[in-house]
Amino acid sequence: MQAYPPALIHHFFSGRTWIEGAALDQLAEMSRLPGVSEIAAFPDLHPGKYGATGVALASERLLPLLVGNDIGCGMSLFQLDLPPHKLKIDKAAERLRQLEAEEIGNPALLLEEAGLPTSLAPDALGTIGGGNHFCELQAIDALAEGGVATGLDGHALYLLVHSGSRSLGAAFFSEAVDAHPDLAAGLLPGSQGAVTWLANHDRCVAWASLNRRLIAARAAAALRADLRLVADVPHNLVRSSGRAFVHYKGAAAVTPGELAPIAGSRASLSYVVCPTADVSRSLGGISHGAGRKYDRASMHGRAGRNRSEREQLLRNAWGGIAICDDRALVIEEAAAAYKDAGQVVADLENEKLVSVLASFRPLVTFKKAVDEAEVEQRRRKPKYRREGGRGRERY
């Protein structure tokens, strides 16, 4: 095997930001992957399954493991034609609870309009998914002069949507894993494996963007509002740059001058920033969110140990509420699991990668609502009931 010199690792975070040692170890491992020339690490850096998250990485080989299974995942921000002063949070939450029951139109037609095959996971369109994904109703907390100039409006409500390619990216990911036993070593440019993965990748990026738009359209319909797209920025993808592939893993792939959302947590502020020309120093990447401080498993026992604590986790300091009927997810996504997005943004600003345009407070965070129809169907056809009585009875 050919030996490569380890890649240059650039840190775009300060000593004030908590960075887990395991993530730095992963960075060092990633710098020794074949073909890697340069790595940019951002303040939301944290350990991930196939390498650290919060990273942009340039390599002459394609490294699908680094992008992971949610190919095309990203953040989109929309402005609503609703003023915050009229908002009744409980009423809005009640309406948003029905988000995924709202019509999205003809999926085949929507896919066709997006230049995608009509067979591409049409039934999953407009769904949020799990994990850290959400659709959040927000109001501007603070607005810089530069924010006003870009059309951000302190007297409007906003929707921030974080979602990806659902089962589609996962299917292409495992397809690549199955086809290439040595996928960790990367795919060579122009190889059949690289061409196939890149084509699937491009579809996932377009599908995920469409998905976020449809989630927002559903939310706007539930709120009886109209909406306009402010920003749409993916953070799990690859971009070609000359001879190199730049891999973004939990790092927003930005363009100088084009607005980018940086998500806070369920109970802390989110931001909209304007990337500067200096992002050429960070491989065109910036942070995409606050970044995890504690992994999902270690949150159990750390937060939400009893019912009243869990109920508290659904409320925030601004009177906002979260809709999440999944008890484990409430705990795993507690604000305490995340770093402070304000510190993340301060580091990026200090590195001259961005200017901050506005901060946003969370009012209603839609994560997961129990589908009553589905529950009812399961009740009729119990999954674990068998004729022969093998296995445990569920009811």
- Distances, alpha carbon 163 to alpha carbons 104, 208, 299, 319, 364, in Å: 16, 7, 22, 25, 16
DSSP assignment string, 72-121? T-EEEEEEES--GGG--HHHHHHHHTTGGGS----HHHHHHHTT--TTSS
Please pick, from the candidates 391, 393, 394, 395, the single residue that binds DNA as defined by CB under 7 A. 391
Closest CA to 255 of 281, 284, 232, 234: 284
Closest CB to DNA among 319 and 384?
384
Catalytic residue flag (residue 201)? no
Residue 44 as a binder of DNA (CB under 7 A): the answer is: no
Distance between CA atoms of 300 and 298, rounded to whole angstroms?
5
Please pick, from the candidates 130, 154, 193, 256, the single residue that binds DNA as defined by CB under 7 A. 130
Size of the site for DNA (CB under 7 A): 17
Please pick, from the candidates 47, 64, 147, 164, the single residue that binds DNA as defined by CB under 7 A. 164
- Least Å distance, CB 165 to DNA, is 7
Distance between CA atoms of 348 and 345, rounded to whole angstroms?
5
Q: How far is CA 91 from the centre of its chain?
A: 26
Distance between CA atoms of 252 and 234, rounded to whole angstroms?
6
Residue 166 as a binder of DNA (CB under 7 A): the answer is: yes
Distance between CA atoms of 238 and 253, rounded to whole angstroms?
9
Find the angle CA(226)-CA(229)-CA(234) to the nearest 5 degrees. Answer: 140
Residue of 10, 155, 288, 300 with catalytic role: 288
Q: Tell me the three state secondary structure of residue 285.
A: strand
- Residue pair 93/365 in contact by the 8 Å Cβ criterion: no
Please pick, from the candidates 163, 265, 316, 359, the single residue that binds DNA as defined by CB under 7 A. 163
Residue 87 as a binder of DNA (CB under 7 A): the answer is: no
- Least Å distance, CB 129 to DNA, is 3
- Least Å distance, CB 395 to DNA, is 15
Start-to-end CA distance of the chain, whole Å, equals 57
- Least Å distance, CB 148 to DNA, is 32
- Least Å distance, CB 133 to DNA, is 5
- Least Å distance, CB 48 to DNA, is 9
Please pick, from the candidates 170, 188, 198, 346, the single residue that binds DNA as defined by CB under 7 A. 170
Closest CB to DNA among 307 and 383?
383
Distance between CA atoms of 222 and 101, rounded to whole angstroms?
9
Residue 132 as a binder of DNA (CB under 7 A): the answer is: yes
Q: How far is CA 155 from the centre of its chain?
A: 26
Closest CB to DNA among 39 and 215?
215
Residue list 53-82, contact with DNA (CB under 7 A):
68-70, 73
- Least Å distance, CB 231 to DNA, is 19
Residue 193 as a binder of DNA (CB under 7 A): the answer is: no
Please pick, from the candidates 72, 107, 129, 186, the single residue that binds DNA as defined by CB under 7 A. 129
Please pick, from the candidates 84, 122, 131, 189, the single residue that binds DNA as defined by CB under 7 A. 131
Closest CA to 249 of 239, 240, 258, 259: 239
Closest CB to DNA among 70 and 100?
70
Interacting residue ranges for DNA, rule: CB under 7 A: 68-70, 73, 124, 129-133, 163-164, 166-167, 170, 384, 391
- Name the residues annotated as catalytic: 288
